[in-house]
Amino acid sequence: MYAIDLFCGAGGFSEGIIQAGFHIVYSSDKSEHVMETYKHRHEQLGMEHGKNTFFELADIRELEGDNILKKINGLKCFKDKTFSLGEIDAIFGGPPCQGFSRAGRRDPKDPRNMLFREYLRIINEIQPKYVVMENVAGFMDTVLSDFKSLNTEFLYNGDTLVSEILQNELKMIGYNVLEPTLLDASDYGVPQRRNRAIFIAYKNGEGKPEYPEPITPEPHHKITVLEAIGDLVECPESSALKNVEYIESSKRGRTKHVKGHFIEGKSDPVNHDFAKHSNSVKERFSLYLLEESTKVLENRIRTKGLDIQKYPNLLMECLFNANKDNNKQAIKEIAEKLNLEANIDSDSWLTNTHKLIAEMYVTEEKHDLENLNYLISKKLTGRLNCNKELAQTFYKYCKDRLNKEITKEKIIKSFSSGDVDNKLMRSLLTNKNSRIRLNIDSTSPTMLTLPDDFINPFEPRTLTVREMARLQSFDDSFLFKGKRTTGGKKRSEEVPQFTQVGNAVPPLLAKAIALEIKYALEKK
């Protein structure tokens, strides 16, 4: 059985397709970052570019059906076989979903929304026997206007549901379409509550496929976070994890090499590097109870109060955050008074100097005089562009002028009573309001693309790439390449490891869907 995988990403859908028994003869994505991961994985599995599979780095708008078939027919493994129109068994794909996602801005005018039209075009040009399209749940109830039909000049005027457009277009090019549905990945052995919109279509004359039946119909049968990642960290609960099938199959491997054997993960798991958090960040993460979100934590603090003195590093950070604007103005005035030659009009300089002074406060409170001397003589002198004596004077003036608007005593009293306004709460928890701590006794929420969206349930830190990959049902042998994460403007350009994992279709969900296509083909 031969398949094409478009918008393949790092290869989540591919893993499930291969596990179901398909041979992926062609795949494509436009990102060089995911290409590195995807091609490496397929080489691990014995799938060699140009020999028995073909990966094309391209925007789908650049692809043409006849060229895709030409590249498939050029594979060395097909010396005695030629694919013509209508002979590919299945095309799988998940066009980018940012414009449809309920978790994002959900912009109906996002140009990426139109990429599913290109997906339809390729389907029409190749005419596979079966078609599968996956997308976010928001795809089902998103509306578009002025969408141009594939084969005519007809425009879908007004507001038409994207799901209706997709069904109409598939029918016009000769496909029967199953009623679109939402599938929850946790019903198919994935330790994650992840709803995805699934569309399945089949050519006239082919056997009718079905949507996969849940394999874990009862909630208590679903794989928990503990059963998914509990072995990746030393914890009291680890003793109960011997012979847990999900963990063992992750280590052993679910995806076979082309020669038939499984690829085992290493004893020291790949992509399992811990983030380096400051003490204040660790203390902040430790505030969260299991399955507690930022909003719930805020309500608990306002209801029951918080003894913030138990978190000295966080208290100091909160103090500086609450006084940030006045502190930065004071720092600028002190620098002017001392005639420093630093770039004091730069907000970036003021912000970074403010952070350094806060670090020095914490160091001095710990009576770590050696480190304090280092911060003054090395870091502060460099930031101020002055000698050590002038840097010491600058720091002395800061101690006299900073943190006067909201004192430490006032912060302690406010948190103790629960009388915390929004400004002070943001000083404690930052503006990141989508954070949640995982619960070891339930499935995880939908994995996203940013590492600090989730707190590890066993330790006060973010998840590792491997932990997130386990929650997505990737094998431990699956290596994600490239940067671990990125930020700022690069976030729209790069696809680091966390994004590769978060954007992927969970392999076990993909396998369940692909098996239904396999069964339909076998019946025929």
CB atoms within 10 A of CB 33: 22
CA–CA gap between residue 485 and residue 491 (Å, rounded): 9
CA–CA gap between residue 15 and residue 261 (Å, rounded): 15
Q: Please give the helix or strand (H or E) that residue 73 lies within, else none.
A: helix 65-73
Residues 6+ apart with CB under 8 A from 284: 311, 314, 428, 429, 430, 460
Distance of CA 89 to the CA centre of its chain: 31
Residues 6+ apart with CB under 8 A from 487: none
CA–CA gap between residue 240 and residue 226 (Å, rounded): 10
CB-count burial class (<10 Å; 0-12, 13-18, 19+) for 82? exposed
Q: Could you give the C-alpha distances from 389 to 328, 333, 373, 381, 386, in angstroms and in order?
A: 22, 18, 11, 9, 8
Active site residue 386: no
CA–CA gap between residue 335 and residue 346 (Å, rounded): 12
Q: Point out which residues pair with 144 in neighbouring strands.
A: 160
> Do the Cβ atoms of 169 and 150 come closer than 8 Å?
yes
DSSP 80-142: T----TT---EEEE----TTT-TTS---TT-GGGGHHHHHHHHHHHH--SEEEEEEEGGGGG-
CA–CA gap between residue 317 and residue 314 (Å, rounded): 5
Count of alpha carbons within 13 Å of 242, Cβ hemisphere only? 2
Q: Could you give the C-alpha distances from 222 to 192, 212, 215, 216, 443, in angstroms and in order?
A: 9, 16, 9, 6, 7
Catalytic residue among 8, 97, 318, 398: 97
Q: Please give the helix or strand (H or E) that residue 160 lies within, else none.
A: strand 160-161
List the structure tokens of 91: 């095309």
Q: What is the distance in angstroms between the CA of the first residue and the CA of the last residue of the chain?
A: 12
CA–CA gap between residue 336 and residue 65 (Å, rounded): 67
Q: Could you give the C-alpha distances from 321 to 276, 280, 329, in angstroms and in order?
A: 21, 12, 14
Q: Which residues are catalytic?
A: 97
